[in-house]
Amino acid sequence: MPVDGVGATITPMEGTPSNAVISTRALTKHYGSVTALTDLTLDVTEGEIYGFLGPNGAGKSTMIRTLLGFLHATSGAASVLGMDVALDSVEIRRLTGYLPGGIALYDSLTGEQVLDYLVDLQGREPRRRAELCDRLELSGSVLRRRVRDYSRGMRQKIGVVQALQHDPELAILDEPTEGLDPLMQHAFYRILDDLRSEGRTVFFSSHVLSEVERLCDRVAIIRAGRLMAIHDVADLLARRRRRVMLRWRGTPDMSALPGLEDVQVDGNRVIGMLSGEVAGFVRAIASPSLEDLTIEPASLEEAFLEYYAPGAEEQQE
Amino acid sequence: MSGRLLAQTLRWQRVRLIAVVLAGIGWGLLIPVIYGAFSDVVRDLVDSGAFPAELMNFGSGSLFTLPGAITLGLQHPLAIAMIGIFAVGASATAVAGERASGTLEVLLARPISRLTLYASILAALLITVLVVLVAILGGMIGGAALQGITDEMDLGQIPLVVLNGFGLWAAFTTFGLAASVSFDRPGPAIGLSLAYLLANYFLEILGSLWTDAAWTQDYSLFHHFNPGSILTGDLQAGDLVIVLVAALVPIIYAIVIFPRRDLAAPA
C-alpha cells in the first residue's frame, strides 16, 4: 500500500493535461465495506478556481484528504502539482495551503502564535499574512488574544490565513466560508479573485451554490462518492433557463414569445422559462403594449438540484 | 525530526513538567530521611519476629539499606505516578488527542511526514521522562548528602541507574505513544497504556510480597530496574537489554503502523 513517503508504486496518469495541478484517475476509496469514492477522474488546471460540490457525506472531504496523503486510495491514482500523492505527499504539502473543514486550532495559543507555529512548520515566509489579516479584519489586538476566546468566525479567519499566508501554489479549501459573516465572505471572495488573477490555483469544496457561481471557473459535482458531472460555470449559466415574467396591456400576444417554455397565462400576465439568448427574446417582445418585464438571473441551483435529486445517480449511470 | 515540533511539544508540557520536577525533588529528598529515621526500627521489627522480612519489602526495594531505600523510592506509587504522568498520560494522548481535537490534520497539512511527527513527539516525551527521573534521583542524592550518608552507596554507578531507569520508563513511553498512534481517540490509548503499566506493577509487587508468587516478578519490567543492585555495583546487563528491547518493540510497531493508517476527518 502506498504510504507517507514509504515505498509505493507509481501508477501512470494517462491523459493528464500538461497544465494540470490536480489530476485523479479512477480514484477509489473504500473504508471496509463502505465505498467513499468510486472511480473519480478529474483534472484541475493551473490558474483556475475549481469548485467541488456535493451534499454532506458525498465524499468531498475524502477526496481532499486523499490528495493530501491523510488517506490512502484503495485504487486509482492521483497527482498534485505533478507529484504522486502516495509518494510525494510531504513535498506536495510544502507547496499547498490547506484549510480543513471546521478547522481546529490550539486553544491555549494566541492567534498570532498559531500562525507563527504553523508557518514555521511550513518552512516558508508568511508573505501574505499581513495583507490577509488586514482584509479579514484580524487586528493586532485580536491576534494577541488566545484562540479559546475566539468566535467560530474568528477561528475560520485564522484558518484562512494559515492556509494562504505562505502564498501557496495551490490552495485546497474545505468549505472555506463556513462561519464567516456575509461581509467577511465577500472579503474572502475578493482574496480568491486576487489569487486567480495571480495565476494561483484554488480547489475548494462547498455546498453553497451562490459562492460557487460567484467564484468558480469550473465545478465538479459529486454524490455518494461518484462524480456526477464536470461543468464550466459560465457555460452552465448560459445554458440555464431563466424565469421570465411579462405583463401586457390587453391580451398577451403569444405568437411573439420565442424560446419561452412552460408558459402560464394569468389574465394579462405571462410567466415562463426562457432558454437561450436573452437579447433576441427582448427584441422579439418589444411592443408598445408591453407594460412590465422581469427576467431573473440564471442560477446554478436548478442544475445542481437535478444532480442531488433522489435517483440522480441511476440516471447518470 | 522537527526541532520546532519538539520544542512546541516540550512547551505544551512545561508547566506540568516544572510542577512534577519540584515534587520529584521533594520526594527524592525525603527518601534518605525516611531511611535514616526508620531503618533501625524496621530492622528491629523484623529481628523480633513481629513481621516476616518479606513484608518489609516493596517491589525490589526495602528500608534496610540506602540503595534499597532508593529502589523503594523509585518503585513507590508516588514516583510511578510522577513519571507516569508523562510516560503514560502525555504519551497516550500525544497523537490521539490531537487526532480527536482535529489539530493533527492542521499539523500534517505542513510538510511533515508522519514519521517526523512521531520522532519529534517521542523525543520530547523521552526528554520529559528523563528530566523527572533525574529530578527524583537528584533529590535522593541531595537528601543522602544532607544526611551525610552518601558513602553507603557507590555514586559512580548513578549514570547506570539513570540509564536503566530511563530504559524502563522509555518502554512505557514508547508503548503509550504506539497506542496513541493506533487510536482515533485518547480514551482507548490511555486505557491500554495504563493497563500495561499497572499489569507490570502488579506482577512486581505481588511477587515481592508473596514468596510463592515470586516468579511473577520475572514478567514485570519493573523487576528489570533495580537501583539497589546497581548502586552496590551489581548491574545485570540482561536487565538493561530487556528494558531496551521493550522500549524498541513499540517504536518499530509505530513506525510500521502510523504512516499506513488512514486519518479520516475527526468525528
Instruction: Indicate if A223 and A246 belong to the same structural domain.
Output: no
What is the length of chain B? 267
Q: Look at residue B242 and tell me if it is in a domain.
A: yes
Asked if A71 and B263 come within 8 Å (Cβ–Cβ), the reply is yes
Q: Which residues from B are below 8 Å from A108, CB to CB? A: 12
Amino acid at A248: W
Q: Which residues from A are below 8 Å from B264, CB to CB? A: 31, 62, 65, 70-71
Domain count for chain A? 2
Smallest CA–CA distance, residue B117 to chain A, in Å, is 11
Grid coordinates belonging to B91: 504519551
Q: Which residues from B are below 8 Å from A98, CB to CB? A: 109
Instruction: Indicate if A126 and A160 belong to the same structural domain.
Output: yes
Interface test with A, best of B4, B5, B108 (most A CBs within 10 A): B108
Range of the domain at A274: 241-297
Return d(Cα A6, Cα A4) in angstroms, integer: 6
In B177-196, the residues whose Cβ lies within 8 Å of chain A are none
Q: Nearest 5 degrees, angle CA A155-CA B180-CA A28?
A: 75
What is the H or E stretch that residue A190 is in?
Answer: helix A182-197
Q: Look at residue B154 and tell me if it is in a domain.
A: yes
Smallest CA–CA distance, residue A65 to chain B, in Å, is 7
Smallest CA–CA distance, residue A210 to chain B, in Å, is 26
Instruction: Indicate if A148 and A168 belong to the same structural domain.
Output: yes
Return d(Cα A43, Cα B85) in angstroms, integer: 49
Kindly report, residue by residue over A211-230, the tens digit of the pLDDT.
888 889 898 988 888 988 88
**Residue A28, SS3?**
strand
Q: Which residues from B are below 8 Å from A100, CB to CB? A: 102, 105-106, 109, 265
Q: Look at residue A9 and tell me if it is in a domain.
A: no
Q: Which residue in the set B111, B115, B266 is minimally distant from A93, CB to CB?
A: B111
**Residue A261, SS3?**
strand
For chains A and B, CB pairs below 8 A equal: 85
pLDDT at A306 over 50: yes
Asked if A4 and B2 come within 8 Å (Cβ–Cβ), the reply is no
Q: Look at residue B267 and tell me if it is in a domain.
A: no
Return d(Cα B89, Cα B104) in angstroms, integer: 18
Q: Which residue in the set B4, B8, B103 is minimally distant from A104, CB to CB?
A: B103
Listed residues A188, A213, A236: the one ending a domain: A236
Q: Look at residue B266 and tell me if it is in a domain.
A: no
Range of the domain at B173: 3-260
Q: Which residues from A are below 8 Å from B106, CB to CB? A: 100, 103-105, 118, 162
Give the CA-trace dihedral at A163, A168, A172, A174, to 10 degrees: 20
Q: Does B259 touch chain A (CB under 8 A)?
A: yes
> Which residue in chain B is spatially nearest to A108 when comparing CA positions?
B12
pLDDT at A258 over 80: no
Average pLDDT, integer, range B14-37: 92
Pick the closest to residue B175 from B244, B110, B91, B264 (CA basis).
Answer: B91
Strand partners, A244: A272, A295
Q: Which residues from B are below 8 Å from A69, CB to CB? A: 108
Kindly report, residue by residue over A67-120, the tens digit of the pLDDT.
999 999 999 999 999 999 999 999 999 999 999 988 899 999 999 999 999 999
Q: Does B105 touch chain A (CB under 8 A)?
A: yes
Average pLDDT, integer, range B32-61: 72
Q: Look at residue B220 and tell me if it is in a domain.
A: yes
Smallest CA–CA distance, residue A4 to chain B, in Å, is 5
pLDDT at B161 over 60: yes
Q: Does B159 touch chain A (CB under 8 A)?
A: no
What is the length of chain A? 317
Asked if A100 and B107 come within 8 Å (Cβ–Cβ), the reply is no
Residue B86 contacts residue B77 (beta carbons within 8 Å): no
Interface test with B, best of A74, A117, A162 (most B CBs within 10 A): A117
Q: Look at residue A126 and tell me if it is in a domain.
A: yes
pLDDT at A303 over 50: yes
pLDDT band for A240, please (50, 70, 90 cuts). confident
Q: Look at residue B240 and tell me if it is in a domain.
A: yes
Q: Does B260 touch chain A (CB under 8 A)?
A: yes
Least confident stretch, A88-97, B52-61, B198-207: B52-61
Asked if B106 and A62 come within 8 Å (Cβ–Cβ), the reply is no
Bigger pLDDT: B47 vs A316? B47
Q: Which residues from B are below 8 Å from A72, CB to CB? A: 260, 262
Q: Look at residue A315 and tell me if it is in a domain.
A: no
Domain count for chain B? 1
Instruction: Indicate if A141 and A254 belong to the same structural domain.
Output: no
pLDDT at B197 over 80: yes
Grid coordinates belonging to B80: 510511578
Instruction: Indicate if A81 and A227 belong to the same structural domain.
Output: yes
Residue A298 contacts residue A242 (beta carbons within 8 Å): yes
The percent helix, strand, coil of chain B (3-state, each to 5) is 85, 0, 15
Asked if B265 and A101 come within 8 Å (Cβ–Cβ), the reply is yes
ipTM of the modeled complex: 0.83
pLDDT band for B74, please (50, 70, 90 cuts). very high
Instruction: Indicate if A196 and A136 belong to the same structural domain.
Output: yes
Return d(Cα B249, Cα B171) in angstroms, integer: 9
Residue A191 contacts residue A164 (beta carbons within 8 Å): yes
Find the DSSP H helices in B54-182.
66-75, 77-84, 91-101, 103-108, 114-147, 158-182
Q: Look at residue B182 and tell me if it is in a domain.
A: yes
pLDDT band for A9, please (50, 70, 90 cuts). very low
Q: Look at residue A120 and tell me if it is in a domain.
A: yes
> How big is chain B by its Cα radius of gyration, in Å?
20
* pTM (predicted TM-score): 0.85
pLDDT at A2 over 50: no
pLDDT at B42 over 90: no
State residue A317's pLDDT score. 44
Least confident stretch, A61-75, A97-111, B47-61, B123-137: B47-61
Mean residue pLDDT of chain A comes to 85
What sign does the CA torsion over B83, B89, B95, B97 have? negative
State residue B41's pLDDT score. 76
State residue A289's pLDDT score. 82
Smallest CA–CA distance, residue B20 to chain A, in Å, is 20
Other CB atoms within 10 Å distance of the CB of residue A286? 10
pLDDT at A236 over 80: no
Q: Look at residue A10 and tell me if it is in a domain.
A: no
Instruction: Indicate if A206 and A98 belong to the same structural domain.
Output: yes
Long-range Cβ pairs for the range A145-153 (8 Å, 24+): A145/A110, A145/A111, A146/A107, A146/A108, A146/A109, A146/A110, A147/A105, A147/A106, A147/A107, A147/A108, A147/A109, A147/A110, A147/A111, A147/A114, A148/A107, A148/A108, A150/A105, A150/A111, A152/A179, A153/A179, A153/A180, A153/A181, A153/A184
State residue A312's pLDDT score. 56
Pick the closest to residue B266 from B122, B107, B154, B141 (CA basis).
Answer: B107
State residue A8's pLDDT score. 40
Q: Which residues from A are below 8 Å from B266, CB to CB? A: 104
Instruction: Indicate if A246 and A220 belong to the same structural domain.
Output: no
> What is the DSSP secondary-structure string of A124-178?
S--TTHHHHHHHTT--HHHHTSBGGG--HHHHHHHHHHHHHTT--SEEEEESTTT
Smallest CA–CA distance, residue B82 to chain A, in Å, is 24
pLDDT at B178 over 80: yes
Residue A273 contacts residue A260 (beta carbons within 8 Å): yes
Instruction: Indicate if A281 and A162 belong to the same structural domain.
Output: no
Grid coordinates belonging to A210: 451562490
Instruction: Indicate if A194 and A283 belong to the same structural domain.
Output: no
Q: Look at residue A316 and tell me if it is in a domain.
A: no
Instruction: Indicate if A213 and A257 belong to the same structural domain.
Output: no
Asked if B106 and A101 come within 8 Å (Cβ–Cβ), the reply is no
Tell me the CATH number at A214. Answer: 3.40.50.300
Instruction: Indicate if A165 and A40 belong to the same structural domain.
Output: yes
pLDDT above 90: percentage of residues in chain A: 48
pLDDT at B186 over 50: yes
pLDDT at A179 over 70: yes
Q: Which residues from A are below 8 Å from B105, CB to CB? A: 65, 70, 100, 104
Smallest CA–CA distance, residue B112 to chain A, in Å, is 6
State residue A90's pLDDT score. 94
